[in-house]
Amino acid sequence: MNKFCVFLIGLALFSCEYFNVKKTSPEAILQEELKTFNWEEVDTYPSFKVCDASLPKQAQKQCFERVLREHIMANLQKEIIVVTQDINDTLSLEFKVSEHGEVTLQDIEMDSITLSEIPNIKALLYKSLDSLPKVFPAIKRNQNVKTEFKLPIIIHVN
């Protein structure tokens, strides 16, 4: 009976999954870590040199958008635009800032009247981006990342 009890105790101890060591691969750890990221947020927004890096995140975003909007509007105001009817439209510009700080215009949403009155508006918008000052890309976990955003621009031509 003693031998039988020792046998049962030994069987219970050595057949238990408790003593098995499970190895976790680096890929599995990486996948678990990636699930915890909020991919919609960045640690630091894209910025220009004139935007102070010590500003809070929302103020950095507003500064970047303000400088970009002012730059585009200044370039559009240099152009002579002749229209047959008044235009008061809000353009929705979709931008992408690469991890190298290159700004590209992805899409432009505008009223059909604006496009018919100013047929070269897209070319003017693309041209305004050619003279942008240096853009510092967004940062996520100490890595430069690409970002996309929409920027409204109000066009008012008499």
Tell me, yes or no, whether 42 lies in a domain: no
pLDDT at 115 over 80: yes
pLDDT at 141: 83
Q: What is the DSSP string of 58-97?
A: HHHHHHHHHHHHHHHHHHHHHS----SS-EEEEEEEEEEE
C-beta of residue 140 within 8 angstroms of C-beta of residue 43? yes
CB 111 within 8 A of CB 92: no
Lowest average pLDDT, out of 13-17, 97-101, 152-156, goes to: 13-17
Query: Residue 157: its pLDDT value, please?
Result: 80
Ranges of beta strands (E only) in the chain are: 47-48, 87-97, 103-109, 135-136, 138-140, 143-145, 147-157
What are residue 102's phi and psi, to 5 degrees? -90, 125
Residue 112 counted as domain residue? yes
- Domain of residue 8: give its range: 2-36
| Chain Cα centroid distance, residue 7 | 63
Are residue 85 and residue 129 in the same domain, yes or no?
yes
d(CA 128, CA 74): 9
The token pair that represents 106 in the structure block: 């992805």
pLDDT tens-digit readout, 38-97: 667 888 899 999 987 778 888 999 999 999 999 999 998 888 878 888 888 899 999 999
pTM above 0.95, yes or no: no
In a domain, 41, yes or no: no
Helix (H, G, I), strand (E, B) or coil at 98: coil
Count of the separate structural domains present in the chain: 2
